[in-house]
Amino acid sequence: MSRIKRGWELTKKSWALLRENPTLLRFPLYGGVATIVCALVVVGPGIYLIEDDQAVFGGAMAVIGFYLLAVIGTYFSVGLAAAADMIFRGQQASVGDGLAVARGRLPQIAGWAAVSTTLGVALSALENQGVIGQIVGRVLAIGWSLITFLAVPVIALEGTGPFQTLKRSASLFKSRWGAQVTGNIAIGGAVFLLGVLPSALLIFAGFLIWASASFAGALLLVLGVIGLAISMLVSSALSNIFGVALYRYALDGEAVGGFTAQELESAVKPRGGRNAPPTATPGTV
């Protein structure tokens, strides 16, 4: 319970930063729009061709589409992380500033997207191998999401290649897993209770009354979908902000963005003991 409470405190600080800098929401918004366009133009036709018994061409097209989706998602996440770090350091940061950093990291982003897409395809194939494959695949997927939690801030702030990024994020996870897991649980739980659940209820109610009151049903559906979309944007932004704050403290002991040293110290236990300052430098954590 104490870890969950600390994670919730970190989430509230992340929300405070987002509320003061709502422009950060534009990163996941732009990324979401680009994702939809890519899915419609590349992934959708690829899946259609697979269903139309053109598995080779359709499969290749779908894989390329999934890779482009990974590039898009990582690109805008890196931009958000860079902008959040600028704000943490007391600088003015616009969407253009964050995307400028992302453009400078494009080779690293492309490399990381290739690694994550390859693993995603492999896990998908594994999950198609019966019940055991599904269980193993999902366990591996959860493990991958945890050890790569800090991959985006590592790429944004260090500019490392894909394998060095994996090594850095994994080593940070192994030594400081508690803050990452509980922080994400707190973020996910808050967004679910305050955003996803009410939106889902609106959508469900809209479907129920659609036949008898089409206008009211349509209105509830629209409100529910909008609420769900906003919830996803907020969740993405909070997760990235939290990751940058945790990364910055783990890297050089700097409490940023309104977080106190005590809050971050309680959430991140350094290697040298509870009171030892985290003085690791890139590549040594």
Q: Look up residue 139 and give its two tokens.
A: 């366990």
Longest dimension (CA), the chain: 65
At a CB cut-off of 8 Å and minimum separation 6, what does 136 contact?
126
How many domains are contained in the chain?
Answer: 1
Q: Is residue 180 part of a domain?
A: yes
Q: Does 281 map to a domain?
A: no
* 242's tokens: 């939290």
CA-based Rg of the chain, rounded to a whole angstrom? 20
pLDDT on residue 227: 80
Q: Are 228 and 203 in contact (CB under 8 A)?
A: yes
Say what the pLDDT of residue 70 is: 92
> For residue 281, what pLDDT is reported?
32
Range of the domain at 88: 2-267
CA distances from 168 to 112, 154, 162, 251 (A): 13, 7, 10, 11
Closest CA to 11 of 146, 188, 195: 188
Residue 283, domain member (yes or no)? no
Question: What pLDDT was estimated at residue 282?
Answer: 33
Which residues, in sequence order, are CB contacts of 25 under 8 Å at separation 6+?
A: 18, 233, 234, 237
Tell me, yes or no, whether 263 lies in a domain: yes
User: Coil, strand or helix: which one is 21?
Assistant: coil
Residue 126, in any domain of the structure: yes
pLDDT at 121: 84
* Contact between 101 and 244 (Cβ < 8 Å): no
Residue whose C-alpha is closest to residue 95's, from 31, 165, 173: 31
d(CA 69, CA 88): 28
Terminal-residue alpha carbon distance, the chain = 27
* Residue 47: partners with Cβ closer than 8 Å, 6 or more residues away: 58, 62
In a domain? residue 99:
yes
For residue 136, what are its two tokens? 């193993």
Q: For position 270, what pLDDT does the model report?
A: 45
Mean pLDDT by 10 residues, the chain (285 residues): 61 80 90 89 87 86 91 94 88 92 96 92 83 84 80 92 90 61 62 78 86 82 81 78 78 66 54 39 32
Indicate whether 124 belongs to any domain: yes
Per-residue pLDDT at 130: 79
